[in-house]
Amino acid sequence: MEGRRMNQVPLFSSARVLGNLIVTSNLIDSALTKILELQRDQTALPSPVQYRVFNPSPKCTIVAFVSSSDCTQNPLPGQGDLDRSPLFDFLCTEEYKSASINRAALTLFTSLYDHLSGLKTQLTEIEGQLIITGHSLGGSVASLFTLCLLDGNLLKPKCRPFCITFGSPLIGGFGLQHSMWNSFFLHVVSNQDPVPGLFLPSGRSPPTSPHSQNTGYKPFGTYLLCSELGCACFDNPDLILELLKVISSEVAGGLQDVDYGEILRNLKERAICKELPQVGERFANPFSAGIIVELETIGFNQTKLLQHNIDIKTVISTMEAEARNLTQKNKASDAKKLNEIKRDMTQLELYKKNSKVLNMGYYDCFKNQVSKRDIHVEQFRVNLTGYWEGMVAQVQRKPHKEGATFRTRWVYAGTVYRRMVEPLDIAAFYREGRKDYMKNKRSAHYKLLQQWYEEDVKPPSRDKLDDSKKQKVSSILTEDSCFWAHVEEAILSCELLKSENCNHEEGKSSWDNLVKFEEYVMEQIDNYAVSPEIFLEKSSFMKWWGLYEGYIDTRSNSHRSLLISFMKNRSYRQYG
């Protein structure tokens, strides 16, 4: 225990330095200026939400959204509900099977929808900085619009988008914590502004409509929380949710607009001035010192936290665990992991090669556990499966389009892995005397890897199956990674047919399976899609052939097929 603590590298919390960096950078000022400009010009509001495009410099485009304050000051019943919308189904991930959007924001967004498609086209042309910003519900619309831009993958690679909202209510229940997109959103929230937490159940939420739900809001992106004393950045959704709840329940009086211009002016001064002298406190470590000071800066001193039943120790330990987790992840760099994976694959290649000497493929070697090396192979299999399950999970945690882009880079490597390793899983399964791998055991990550491969990689057309494939066949991995499962099922069918207590129905279905299997194998052979290793003397495939040949020879009515003649003529000797 002592040793572990010694090894623990101290961490730091950078919420305030990041907050001050943002405040001093002029970035949010330029966004806010345009919002104020638009608000000033907006006389009699024809619509509850408006936007305008600004070009303060050739390298910078700003799109500002503003909403009339009616929407937040007198919210209608049901405004806080979460609705599903087909427009935002692209936000679904493994964790959030359906993405729901706040009704008020969605209504405003849909009312602008036609205009926005024109704007989208306009923005696909620009390069350089693109700031999409908005205040209050206008900010919510800005967020929704940014999400659509990201999903459409419409922007030029040289265009850098950033969505900055001021005092915007939470827009929905979906998770972007594992997505790149999360980094494009910054939400500025004052501790005097109840609007961001408006639709939360504990806030001043308008009454919900019957049978609807308004729990399940989840913040995303980075929050710049500020008070009179200063500001700090957080991106932990649970912490942000809790703080927003407190803010919206505490602010007394009616809902009136908070002056973000004034807040920013004060913050900018604070960021370069010396902070207020602070109570002489002993901190356990720099990390907890950081968090305590940061929360204090945004108006959450210890007394207030206690009042609202927020346990600072729990906050610190959650944040610390999260930070350690991320540091750990960064440490094992991608390059290093990739090298380890390559090593394990090379080990398996060697195993495969050596198995041939024993006159059986690596599938049967592993199934029969003939040598000590099989134990090591087990380890490689575990490592590789762990790695690839992780990669697949990463894709699933991302919104669909982003996941697709992310995976194309390694879908080939994933396929090689699937073809090499899945046969080992099959071998272990049938070694235990079990049945029907495809239905009972096949792991989801194999299914997805196969599905993605089939989506991404177009099979070459038939006439392209030229000599090169024929020449290479001796060194390929069998393309269908479930080939051996089909072989095993065929063996079981043969055994069943031969056994005495096989009833008519079972016999019929077994025979059908076998005929199908024959066709399947022949097709694989014609396509040069199976490794010639299957024809090695002691392989399970040859075992099946032995059983099958014996059976058809004893059958009364003769059965012929291409595969039977291929096998009987020993044409496989010329294969590969």
Binding site for another protein (CB under 8 A): 9-18, 20-22, 24-27, 129, 131, 160, 162, 180, 182-186, 221-222, 233-235, 268-269, 271-275, 277-278, 280-283, 286, 289-290, 293, 323, 326-327, 333, 335-336, 339-340, 342-343, 346-347, 349-350, 353-354
Least gap, CB of 159 to another protein (angstroms): 10
Phi, psi of 159 (to 5 degrees): -90, 130
Written as one string, the DSSP assignment of 120-143 is: HHHHTT--EEEEEEEETHHHHHHH
Q: Which is nearer to another protein, 326 or 444 (CB)?
A: 326
Least gap, CB of 11 to another protein (angstroms): 7
Least gap, CB of 428 to another protein (angstroms): 24
Q: Which is nearer to another protein, 63 or 198 (CB)?
A: 63
Least gap, CB of 75 to another protein (angstroms): 29
The span from the CA of 46 to the CA of 384, in Å, is 60
Instruction: Return the number of other C-beta atoms located less than 10 Å from residue 66's C-beta.
Output: 29
Q: Which is nearer to another protein, 14 or 396 (CB)?
A: 14
The span from the CA of 559 to the CA of 79, in Å, is 71
The span from the CA of 575 to the CA of 532, in Å, is 7
Is residue 318 within 8 Å of residue 310, measured between CB atoms?
no
Q: Which is nearer to another protein, 199 or 380 (CB)?
A: 380
Q: Which is nearer to another protein, 305 or 345 (CB)?
A: 345
Instruction: Name the token pair of 120.
Output: 């989208």
Least gap, CB of 483 to another protein (angstroms): 24
Instruction: Return the number of other C-beta atoms located less than 10 Å from residue 128's C-beta.
Output: 13
Q: Which residues contact 18 (CB under 8 A, 6 or more apart)?
A: 232, 233
The span from the CA of 152 to the CA of 147, in Å, is 9
The span from the CA of 404 to the CA of 212, in Å, is 33
Least gap, CB of 220 to another protein (angstroms): 11
Least gap, CB of 270 to another protein (angstroms): 9
- Strand, coil or helix: what is 25? coil
Q: Which is nearer to another protein, 179 or 205 (CB)?
A: 179
DSSP state of 254: S
Q: Which residue has the tokens 């001021």?
A: 166
Classify the phi-psi angles of 89: left when phi > 0, otherwise alpha if psi is within -120 to 50, otherwise beta.
alpha
Least gap, CB of 363 to another protein (angstroms): 19
Least gap, CB of 377 to another protein (angstroms): 14
Q: Which is nearer to another protein, 144 or 271 (CB)?
A: 271
DSSP state of 538: T
Q: Which is nearer to another protein, 13 or 136 (CB)?
A: 13
Q: Which residue has the tokens 């003529």?
A: 569
- Strand, coil or helix: what is 57? strand
**Which spans in 124-226 are helix H?**
137-152
Instruction: Name the token pair of 274.
Output: 């010396």
Q: Which is nearer to another protein, 212 or 278 (CB)?
A: 278
Least gap, CB of 203 to another protein (angstroms): 25
CA 483 to chain centre: 30
